[in-house]
Structure 1
């Protein structure tokens, strides 16, 4: 049960990070940025979302053990 919960959580975090990256890229492109700039902003957003998820996991891990 625990393994399934971890896998589901990882999948949800990756999906949310991917959606954030897509939205950031689209907003950058709508704002008039070139394709490489929009891709760079999307990549930075994806990395930031994963870093935030890792930070929250590290902060909550002491409560869950």
Structure 2
């Protein structure tokens, strides 16, 4: 059975979540920019950016959660 989450683990998880959101925003913005440069319309570029944002956010938060679980299992 897993132990309760310590305050340090919670802090690390929150910082990782904030970094994940910032990185996902940058990826989404870059996708919108590159889509517009490729000649896509604004609605199409925004959809592509949203898909890139959500995909990157999902992957980064999955990695952060996995890291926290592995740290809990180690201790």
Fold similarity call, TM over 0.5: yes
Q: Which has the higher helix share?
A: 1
TM-score, length of structure 1 as denominator length: 0.83
Runs of 4+ in 1 over 6 A off after TM superposition: none
Unaligned 5+ runs, structure 2: 1-6
List alignment gaps of at least 5 residues for structure 1: none
Larger radius of gyration: 2
Higher relative contact order (CA 8 A, sep 6+): 2
CA RMSD of aligned residues (A): 1.8
Task: Kindly tell me the number of residue pairs found equivalent between the two proteins.
Answer: 65
